[in-house]
Amino acid sequence: MPPHPPIHSVHDLQPQLSNLCAYWLGWDADDTTDSDLPVYRTGLPHPLLNGVLRFRGESLDDALSLARKRLDGTPHLWWVGDDSNPGLVEQLVARGGTLTSTLPVMAVDLGKVADATVPGLEISPVVDRPGLAEYVTTYSEVFGIPHDVIPSVVDAEANYSTARSDVVRFVGRVNGQVVGTAQLSMSHGVAGIYWVATLEAHRKRGIAGALTTAALLAGRERGLLVGSLQASRRGESVYRGLGFETVGHVHHVAVQYGG
């Protein structure tokens, strides 16, 4: 992975979107983060695990044709942020697509992040295959990944390419049981946070915040200055409590390709 100097401002949005692109391309893709139409495909039946990360070319029809060929037979999403052509969401919707969600891109100055602890919660990095299986099983329950697909997701995580980003996975345990997850992805001078999840029975105890903080502090220890993530509606207030602010948005669009 080519080195990038740490960004200094939470409002420096483009490296944060490049971090997003680099993270998802690590799942299974030949494209680079400089591509006008970066596509990743695991082939697994969940829309987050396949998708188009940006479009900034001249012909949307050509892009749709290429995306259809590369993603045919998989549930997937188009990610549309400020690194895509202006008006792309509206153009995709006009062609029959559906805007499924709008996520705030949130960033935090890592120098202002304080350690967070939750009584009874033990946070540790994932270091082996059994730990990876616990990690995937936990976030799969929260993100709606089918149970029978979990072994394949574990394989995909185990084969994750670090050519574009370095990753560190974290689990939180209560009484020995994994109840929450978070992942740090470092690229483009940004500490990107992904797969923040807490099992329903353990929510509203600060576990998601503690796991996010552990990942952010790991990024700070490695010399990064800004943390970034895309927040769900449920998680947005948690991140604001940690000092994050909204610096942009990304949209998920389910695309119709026609006959």
Give CA separation, 80 vs 36, 38, 60, 172, 244, in Å: 12, 12, 13, 32, 21
Q: Number of folded domains in the chain?
A: 2
Number of other CB atoms surrounding residue 146 within 10 Å: 12
Residues 240 and 130 in one domain: yes
Q: Is the separation of the CB atoms in 126 and 137 below 8 Å?
A: no
Burial class (CB in 10 A: 0-12, 13-18, 19+), 109: middle
Task: Decide if 87 is inside a domain.
Answer: yes
Estimate to the nearest angstrom the gap between the alpha carbon of 242 and the chain centroid. Answer: 18
Q: Note whether 46 and 81 are same-domain residues.
A: yes
Cβ contact 215:81 at 8 Å: no
Tell whether 80 and 23 lie within a shared domain.
Answer: yes
Instruction: List C-alpha distances in Å: 104 to 17, 57, 80, 224, 233.
Output: 12, 24, 12, 21, 9
> Cα angle at 177 between 174 and 182, to 5 degrees?
80
CATH of the domain at 190: 3.40.630.30
* Per-residue pLDDT tens digits of the chain, which is 259 residues long: 447 999 999 999 999 999 999 999 999 999 999 999 999 999 999 999 999 999 999 999 999 999 999 999 999 999 999 999 999 999 999 999 999 999 999 999 999 999 999 999 999 999 999 999 999 999 999 999 999 999 999 999 999 999 999 999 999 999 999 999 999 999 999 999 999 999 999 999 999 999 999 999 999 999 999 999 999 988 899 999 999 999 999 999 999 887 5
- Are 179 and 118 in the same domain? yes
pLDDT on residue 67: 97
Same domain, 95 and 113: no
* Residue 7 DSSP code: P
Give the pLDDT score at 257. Answer: 86
CA 122 to chain centre: 23
Pairing of strands 50-52, 77-80: parallel
Looking at the fold, whether 126 and 229 belong to one and the same domain comes out as yes
pLDDT of res. 234: 85
Residues 6+ apart with CB under 8 A from 39: 29, 31, 51, 52, 53, 66, 67, 70, 71
- CA-based nearest residue to 253, from 92, 50, 105: 92
131: domain range? 109-248
pLDDT of residue 259: 59
Quick one: pLDDT at residue 233? 85
The conformation of residue 237, written as its DSSP 8-state character, comes to: H
Does residue 1 belong to any structural domain of this protein?
no
